[in-house]
Amino acid sequence: MSTTRLLVISLFVAGSGLLGACQQEESDVSRTSDGVMRLGTVEVVDTVNRAVVPNARPLAVEGLRGSVQLSGADQETADLSFVRRGRGESQDDGRSVLEGISITESGTEAEYTYTLEAEESDYAAADVRGQVPRPSALRIDRLSGSVEMDGVEGALTIRHDHGSVDVEGAAAPVEVTIKNGDVRVGFRAVPAEGPLQLQTSNGDVDVGLPPDASAQVDARTNVGTIRTQGLSFSSEQFAPVDAGARYTAQLGEGGPTLEVRTENGSITLQAQDTTRTDTTETAADPEPATVPATDTTVSVPDPVPDTNETPRDTSLRDSSTGPDTSS
């Protein structure tokens, strides 16, 4: 065997060893209890409480990833808790990410907005929990995260890329536009006017309607099935479309158009229980879905108040919870 050939083989073996070492190093990642890969092995958490009297203004939450769980109650204030989460390879790293998460508030006569931002967004999240006045109108416009609403009877606008949407007790116009995730909306009452638009690119859509409601249904899926359960329609039209179908029907007499769309998924239209849910009593919230059970969670103490801080709008109340001792 020639010296040149030996040299080539040696270089090949050495290169393979280096490649193997690199691959081994890259595969050293953290996972949640159900196997989902995550950045960072330590998550540092704190909670910031905010309250505002909307005075009939719509409330908006926008920016940054994280889940939303809001319920409507018979009260005048919107009481929100922002659970900020910073991930890193150490407690210091996670704390640094968390300290870069900002909650900016801005109010006009038309809307009161909470804007969530992070200096290191890949490692940051902020979940939103709380209660709002029952008739509140809400706008949720975030990067990703599941959205759950119960008993909020004002107009709802929800937009994001990834995460399921579950609304119970709707009684006003609803617009949902997402890319990936299932959509479920249960109407306590169908409003006299729309818009009523539910759209996902990849996911099922489940709509609950009062049996005595009036609405013009326009439902379409490119890949999936359409079904109805417990509802009586005065007129119906059904036609295959690609690997899916389009269905139009009249429920009751007249009413707004209910537009339901999914590219890949099935659609269900069913009778809805219209009993109002009592959401006044607050129970202990389950651990947010963004926190894997196997992660190391470190709480952060409340910051020392800055006596030089410029006062905000007097309609706003701000407080912070004590340290989160969960792990």
Task: Please provide the average confidence, as pLDDT, over all residues in the chain.
Answer: 82
Q: Is residue 243 helix, strand or coil?
A: strand
- In the DSSP assignment, the letter for residue 144 is B
Q: What is the pLDDT of residue 327?
A: 35
Least confident segment among 6-15, 71-80, 91-100, 166-175: 6-15
pLDDT at residue number 220:
98
Mean pLDDT of 55-61: 96
Strands (DSSP E) found in 53-164: 59-62, 68-73, 78-88, 101-107, 112-118, 124-133, 138-141, 147-150, 156-162
pLDDT of residue 20: 37
Contacts of 211 (CB under 8 A, 6+ apart): 230, 231, 232, 271, 272
The number of C-alpha atoms within 13 Å of 212 and in the hemisphere containing its C-beta is 4
pLDDT value at 280 more than 90: no
Average pLDDT, integer, range 51-71? 97
pLDDT above 80 (res 186) = yes
Encoded tokens for 28: 């050293």
Give residue 268's pLDDT: 98
Q: Is the pLDDT of residue 5 over 90?
A: no
Q: Residue 274: pLDDT band by 50, 70, 90 thresholds?
A: confident
Q: Provide the pLDDT confidence category of residue 41 given band limits of 50, 70 and 90.
A: confident
Residue of 23 and 121 predicted with greater confidence: 121
For residue 126, the cross-strand partners are 84
Q: Quote the pLDDT of residue 33.
A: 64
Q: Tokens at residue 229, please?
A: 């359960």
| % of the chain at pLDDT higher than 90 | 70
- Entry pTM: 0.76
Window from 51-55, 189-193, 289-293, 309-313 with minimum mean pLDDT: 289-293
Helix ranges (DSSP H) in the chain: 3-26, 91-99
Predicted local confidence at residue 275, as pLDDT: 73
97 close to 89: Cβ distance less than 8 angstroms: no
Quick one: which of 162, 206, 201 has its CA closest to 187? Answer: 206
- Helix or strand run (H / E) with residue 173: none
Over range 189-207, report the average pLDDT.
97
Read off the pLDDT band of 1 (50, 70, 90).
Answer: low
- State the distance between the two ends of the chain, measured CA to CA, in whole angstroms: 61
With cut-offs at 50, 70 and 90, classify the pLDDT of residue 172: very high
Task: With cut-offs at 50, 70 and 90, classify the pLDDT of residue 30.
Answer: low
Residue 86 pairs in a beta bridge with 44, 124
Q: What CA–CA distance (Å, rounded) separates 116 from 68?
A: 13
The mean pLDDT of 223-228, rounded to a whole number, is 98
Q: How far apart are CA 36 and CA 178, in angstroms?
A: 22
Q: Which residue shows structure tokens 């919230």?
A: 285
Buried b / exposed e over 298-308, threshold 16 CB at 10 Å, is bebeeeeeeee
CA distance 18 to 11: 10
Sign (positive or negative) of CA dihedral 320, 321, 325, 327:
negative
Q: Residue 324 has what pLDDT?
A: 40
pLDDT digits (tens, 9 = 90+) for 236-249: 999 999 999 999 99
Dihedral-angle region of residue 99 (phi above 0 means left; psi in -120 to 50 means alpha; beta otherwise): alpha
Please report which helix (H) or strand (E) contains residue 293, including its range.
none
- Give yes or no for residue 273 having a pLDDT over 60: yes
**The two three-digit tokens of residue 321, written as one number:** 């919870």
